[in-house]
Amino acid sequence: MTGNVVLLGFALVGAPGFSIAASLAAIAAFGVGALVGGKVGSRFARNRGQLFSTAAAIQAVFLVSGVVLAALSTNPLTAGVRYSVIVVLTIAMGIQNAGARKLAVPDLTTTVLTMTITGVAADSHVAGGQGSKAARRLIAIAAMLLGAVIGATLVLHALIAYPLAIALVVTVFAAAASWMLARSSADWVREQ
C-alpha cells in the first residue's frame, strides 16, 4: 500500500499514467481486507495455525475471483474488469497483512521489506547491536525478489491469470498445510 499512496500522490498532481480512482480503490479495498483479517485474527488469536489457515482460506476466495476475472477477460483488461481485479486482490492483500501482523513472525514481513533490510545493518554487531540475524533476513529479501521476478516475467510474457493462479495455488496449499498442522499441540500453534 505504500506504493499506492505514492502513486496517488503522483496522480493528484496530474502525472501522466497514474489514476486517482485506481489508487483510492486499492487503498479502500485493502482497508476492507485488513478489517476482515483483523476479525479473523481476533477470533483465532489463541491458535496461530487456525488463524493462518483461516486467513489464507478467505484470501484464496478473493484470489479465485481475481483468477476468474482475469481468465475470462480480454487483454488489455477493460476498466470494469481492471477495477474488479484491483478490489478483489487488494482485499486479499489486506487479509494477508492483517494475519501476518497478528502472527508477528520475526523478519518475515510482507509489506515492510525496508525494515528487514535496515535490520541487517542496524542490528549487526558492527553497529553495536546484538546480531542482525542476517541469514533469516536475507532469505526473506531473496524470497520477495524471486517472487517479484517470477511475477513480473509472467505478467509481461503471459496472461495475467497465470501469476494469479500461482498465487492461488500457493495460498491454498499453505492454508491446507497450516490447517492440518494447527491440530497439533506444538508450541508454535499457541498464542505467544
3-state secondary structure of 190: strand
Q: In this structure, what C-alpha cell is assigned to residue 51?
A: 488463524
Q: In a 10 Å sphere around its CB, with 0-12 CB exposed, 13-18 middle and 19+ buried, how is residue 70 labelled?
A: buried
Residue 60 near residue 171 (C-beta atoms within 8 A): yes
- Report pLDDT digits (tens) over 35-72: 999 999 889 888 888 898 999 999 999 999 999 998 89
Q: In the chain, what are the domain boundaries?
A: 29-184
State pLDDT tens for residues 6-28. 888 889 988 888 899 999 999 99
**Sign of the dihedral defined by the CA atoms of residues 64, 68, 71, 77, in that order:** negative
Place of cell 503522483: 10
Q: Dihedral, CA atoms, 96, 101, 104, 106, nearest 10 degrees?
A: 80
The pTM score is 0.72
- As a whole number of Å, the end-to-end CA separation of the chain is 28
